[in-house]
Amino acid sequence: MQRNVRIIILLLLIALVGGGVYFGYTEYEKRQSALVPVLTVSQEIPPRTMITQKMFDDGVIKVSMHPAKIVPPNVFRKPEDVLNKFTATNYTVPPNSYLYVGKVLTAEEMKDGAAMLLNEGEKMIAINTNLRSSLAAQITEGSYIDLWLSAVAKEDKKPVIGPFLEKVRVIGTYATSSQKSRPTTDTVTKNSSDEQQPVTIGANVVPQTILLAVNNEQIALIQLAEKLGTIQVAGVSYKDYGKTTSATDNGLWSVKRMREWMTAELSKTFQVLETTRGDAR
């Protein structure tokens, strides 16, 4: 009697386990066979190409439904995850493929990402900075700044101070060894080695270099300012970013006035060079 009971219990256990395995496998197969959305590419996309809405409108990139079991885990599935990002440097997306995570990056994540942030006709120039001139690390990518020149006139040795560029767009901030300045912890970190290390203030790394988006004339003014004196940085209010009017277009602190002085100093330098050459002859 007891033996029969044991056999029945064993059979019931086997049936329960078998049923559980069967239903579990059936559910797994359903999930694997279920269709999931995934981004697919219909034609080749070159490196460093921005993913735009037009690519979706033209069918270059599509949202396709594929069985979950054939979709890799590291692919993008939604358009909003890739829009306005770039295909990685030295990577061509082949046709009839997926868009993989790590191969579509933001401009900030790319090694040459700063160039991606330039508008047509813009150039890139770097200026050195420190804790003070970076406004305690408050200058970050996307900020706008004014550039002032602090110099001494050669004739009378009087100080000359004034703005020469306004609302210059910052496209990158970098610390030692081209390390990109990025949010960190609230602690101040120091390093005892001789190499200058990034210093953390608040939530930002203090940059040693700032990249600016400028035109040719602005490049010349910045380089001239570096020869004539010291460039000082002034922060611009976020509310003023979209304004086209100049905040310092009149009076003593006018941009025009400062540029005229800088140009005059440059002319004097050229005159000295020409005079020297004439005497040598």
User: Looking at residue 131, what is its pLDDT?
Assistant: 76
Residue 13 has pLDDT above 90, yes or no: no
Find out whether 165 and 255 touch, Cβ atoms under 8 Å.
yes
- Give pLDDT tens digits for 32-88: 568 889 999 999 999 888 899 999 999 999 999 998 888 899 999 999 999 999 998
Residue 224 has pLDDT above 90, yes or no: yes
* Average pLDDT score over residue span 14-22: 66
Q: List, in order of start, the domains of the chain with CATH numbers.
A: 35-109 (3.90.1210), 117-274 (no CATH)
Q: What is the pTM of this model?
A: 0.59
User: Looking at residue 192, what is its pLDDT?
Assistant: 45
**pLDDT band, very low/low/confident/very high, at 193 (cuts 50, 70, 90):** very low
User: Looking at residue 90, what is its pLDDT?
Assistant: 79
Find out whether 149 and 262 touch, Cβ atoms under 8 Å.
yes
User: Looking at residue 95, what is its pLDDT?
Assistant: 93
Rounded distance, CA 204 to CA 207, Å? 9
Q: What rounded mean pLDDT belongs to the chain?
A: 78
User: Looking at residue 209, what is its pLDDT?
Assistant: 86
- Give pLDDT tens digits for 147-191: 999 999 888 888 989 999 999 999 888 775 455 555 444 444 444
Of 120, 118, 140, 121, nearest to 129 (Cα)? Answer: 140
